[in-house]
């Protein structure tokens, strides 16, 4: 196929779009791949749609290769199944809801666990149909609070979602592994640098769960790695719990005047000045900070929550939200403080917290606060703190919570040493859902002995449209996009660099030769300057550029590698064959 730039529906832009925050967004708009239609909603232009379809093809081939079968569900879905699993409510504002002309409630599908479960229930009643894996590549909808970064986090997007159905845990584990292997092949073919990390299952329910993150400084997800290879989404990192300290022989707690110490910094400075410790100075890590937040449940109800954590760490909202999902976290504002007179701002201590405390507010501790650890913390009076308050002796809480920020250098849960932090884009997510949906919707089959058993499921997603952005985000330079070969909108970009008949005819011949060899060609036959053509070729980012210019007089053209910038002079008689070899690799 030859695509002529003279007729291609394309207008490249020299200026960055005003709303573009990240390189992929900037470049995909500038190079004429996508165009914004509404906030978080994009139109695919001809070049962009080709790349999207290339990604779809790769995903489809690898899903077919593991025996997953393609189906296609509607995007407009009835309320009832989502009501049965609670997600009609749990999704909160993220769900697009609507009514039809008969006031029936519908939603735009954000993910299809319910529908797949019901379909299999409808079709199968025996173990003989299992194991079964079904998938679809489909447009999905989420009413993101903050759609951002172009198609990286849109409100209408294309996903591949698949679901496995097995009789038992071993079957689920095998289905999960097959998907995991397929995902590795897919992301390899997409040319992405990625890491597989342990993940939270979030609103999806279920147990084992991993994410495929594309390595990317602009990614929204932070993940950690240990020296021994442990990797986890920061939401899923578990804190190594220190050994408890015997409660005997610990000094008694004592309240001290600590005027004007409402912050950890002022408290530490005051403590070192007024109550110095013999062996080493006090630090924030010796203090116990109690942070209050409000949880908003999907049904709109709110409840307060107190989190006790070492004073040198902040609460990480994403980690906290992953723990309390489907609830969302909101600030604990002055109005709330007014409702709880026992809370003295800046001086809150465990005494008033927890189900047994004066406030009655649920109180969860960072896992580091093990029994026997002694803390400086608020005395619940203005200007006063308590010292040597020992966990398990002087206070308890309602449980623990993984909500403290994870830091570069923190000890890894696998014991192999300090964690390093990096950022990535969530490209795929694989879950062992287990029986949650099958139970909620009654998916049972008869096993070999004629006994009804509840099916166990896996759920596996890939962000197909997001992959286009992630690839762009991980492969560009100051001149433009650089597509990996399998997803590029064309194999070779032929630039007609001159107006002479000799140059034009030679370029046309090369394009025709490549086309005959099954190579897709972008042919810049526009009436534009060579400078404009070079700039557009580099912006568009086809991996191989063939410049047909004055060299034709000497029987040569120039072949450029977009990624490396390498330029080679190639004799005309060899150019089609050499390009074919490059493309077919």
Binding site for its own copies (CB under 8 A): 7-11, 35, 37-38, 41-46, 49, 52, 67, 69-78, 93-94, 96-98, 100-101, 104, 106, 108, 115, 119, 122-124, 129, 132, 134, 139, 141, 143, 145, 155-156
Q: Give the residue with the Cβ less far from its own copies, 129 or 281.
A: 129
Taking the alpha carbons of 326, 331, 332, 333 in that order, is the dihedral positive or negative? negative
Cα–Cα distance, 328 to 309 (Å, whole number): 20
Q: Give the residue with the Cβ less far from its own copies, 123 or 278.
A: 123
Cα–Cα distance, 290 to 584 (Å, whole number): 61
Q: Give the residue with the Cβ less far from its own copies, 24 or 465.
A: 465
Q: How far is the CB of 126 from its own copies (least distance, A)?
A: 10
Q: Give the residue with the Cβ less far from its own copies, 116 or 483.
A: 116
Q: Give the residue with the Cβ less far from its own copies, 30 or 289.
A: 30
Q: How far is the CB of 533 from its own copies (least distance, A)?
A: 16
Cβ neighbors of 150 (< 8 A, separation 6 or more) are 20, 22, 24, 25, 28, 29, 34, 36, 42, 469
Q: How far is the CB of 465 from its own copies (least distance, A)?
A: 10
On whether the CB atoms of residues 496 and 503 are closer than 8 A, the answer is: yes
Q: Give the residue with the Cβ less far from its own copies, 44 or 88.
A: 44
On whether the CB atoms of residues 474 and 192 are closer than 8 A, the answer is: yes
Q: How far is the CB of 68 from its own copies (least distance, A)?
A: 10
Q: How far is the CB of 509 from its own copies (least distance, A)?
A: 22
Q: Give the residue with the Cβ less far from its own copies, 139 or 272.
A: 139
For residue 558, which of 578, 528, 585, 540 has the smallest C-alpha distance?
578
Q: How far is the CB of 388 from its own copies (least distance, A)?
A: 49
On whether the CB atoms of residues 545 and 560 are closer than 8 A, the answer is: yes
For residue 148, which of 41, 233, 47 has the smallest C-alpha distance?
41
φ and ψ at residue 373, rounded to 5 degrees = -75, 140
502 token code pair? 């000799």
Q: Give the residue with the Cβ less far from its own copies, 306 or 542.
A: 542
414 token code pair? 């696998």
Q: How far is the CB of 90 from its own copies (least distance, A)?
A: 15
Q: Give the residue with the Cβ less far from its own copies, 157 or 194.
A: 157
Count of CB atoms situated within 10 Å of the CB of 243 = 8
413 token code pair? 């849960």
Q: How far is the CB of 44 from its own copies (least distance, A)?
A: 4
For residue 48, which of 357, 393, 465 has the smallest C-alpha distance?
465
Q: How far is the CB of 102 from its own copies (least distance, A)?
A: 9
Q: What is the DSSP string of 142-199?
A: ---SS-BTGGGB-SEEEEEEEEEEESSHHHHHHHHHHHHHHHHHHHHHTT--EEEEE-
């Amino acid at each position: 196929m030859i695509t002529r730039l003279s007729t291609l529906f394309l207008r490249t832009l020299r200026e960055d779009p005003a709303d573009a925050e990240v390189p992929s967004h900037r470049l995909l708009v500038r190079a004429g791949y996508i165009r914004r239609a509404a906030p978080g909603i994009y139109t695919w232009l001809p070049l962009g749609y080709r790349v999207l379809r290339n990604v779809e093809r790769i995903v489809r081939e690898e899903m077919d290769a593991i025996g997953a079968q393609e189906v296609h569900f509607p995007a407009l879905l009835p309320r009832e199944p989502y009501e049965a699993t609670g997600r009609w409510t749990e999704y909160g504002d993220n769900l697009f809801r609507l009514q039809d002309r008969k006031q029936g409630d519908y939603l735009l599908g954000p993910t299809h666990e319910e529908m797949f479960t019901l379909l299999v229930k409808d079709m199968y009643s025996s173990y003989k149909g299992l194991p079964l894996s079904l998938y679809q590549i489909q447009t999905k909808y989420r009413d993101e609070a903050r759609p951002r970064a172009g198609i990286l986090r849109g409100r209408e997007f294309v996903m591949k979602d698949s679901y496995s159905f097995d009789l038992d845990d071993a079957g689920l584990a095998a289905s999960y592994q097959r998907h995991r292997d397929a995902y590795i092949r897919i992301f390899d073919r997409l040319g992405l640098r990625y890491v597989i990390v342990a993940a939270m299952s979030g609103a999806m329910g279920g147990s084992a769960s991993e994410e495929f993150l594309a390595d990317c400084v602009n990614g929204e997800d932070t993940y950690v790695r240990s020296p021994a290879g442990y990797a986890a989404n920061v939401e899923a990192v578990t804190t190594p719990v220190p050994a408890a300290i015997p409660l005997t022989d610990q000094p008694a707690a004592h309240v001290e005047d600590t005027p004007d110490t409402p912050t950890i910094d002022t408290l530490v400075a005051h403590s070192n000045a007024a109550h110095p410790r013999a062996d080493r100075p006090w630090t924030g890590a010796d203090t116990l900070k109690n942070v209050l937040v409000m949880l908003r449940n999907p049904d709109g109800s709110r409840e307060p929550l107190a989190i006790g954590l070492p004073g040198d760490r902040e609460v990480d909202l994403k980690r906290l939200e992953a723990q309390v999902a489907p609830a969302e976290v909101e600030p604990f504002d002055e109005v709330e403080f007014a409702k709880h007179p026992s809370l003295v701002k800046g001086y809150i201590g465990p005494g008033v917290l927890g189900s047994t405390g004066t406030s009655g507010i649920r109180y969860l501790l960072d896992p580091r606060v093990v029994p026997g650890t002694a803390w400086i913390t608020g005395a619940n009076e203005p200007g006063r703190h308590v010292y040597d308050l020992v966990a398990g002796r002087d206070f308890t809480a309602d449980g623990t919570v993984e909500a403290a920020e994870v830091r570069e250098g923190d000890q890894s849960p696998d014991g192999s040493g300090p964690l390093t932090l990096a950022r990535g884009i969530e490209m795929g997510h694989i879950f062992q859902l287990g029986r949650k949906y099958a139970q909620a919707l009654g998916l049972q089959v008869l096993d070999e002995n004629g006994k009804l058993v509840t099916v166990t499921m896996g759920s596996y997603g890939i962000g197909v449209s997001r992959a286009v952005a992630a690839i762009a985000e991980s492969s560009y330079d100051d001149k433009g996009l650089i597509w990996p070969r399998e997803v590029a909108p064309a194999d070779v970009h032929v630039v007609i660099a001159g107006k002479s008949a000799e140059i034009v005819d030679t370029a046309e011949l090369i394009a025709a030769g490549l086309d005959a060899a099954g190579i897709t060609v972008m042919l810049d036959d526009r009436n534009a300057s060579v400078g404009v053509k070079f700039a557009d070729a580099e912006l568009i980012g086809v991996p191989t550029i063939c410049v047909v210019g004055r060299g034709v007089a000497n029987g040569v053209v120039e072949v450029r590698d977009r990624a490396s910038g390498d330029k080679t002079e190639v004799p005309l008689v060899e150019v089609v064959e050499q390009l074919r070899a490059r493309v077919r690799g």
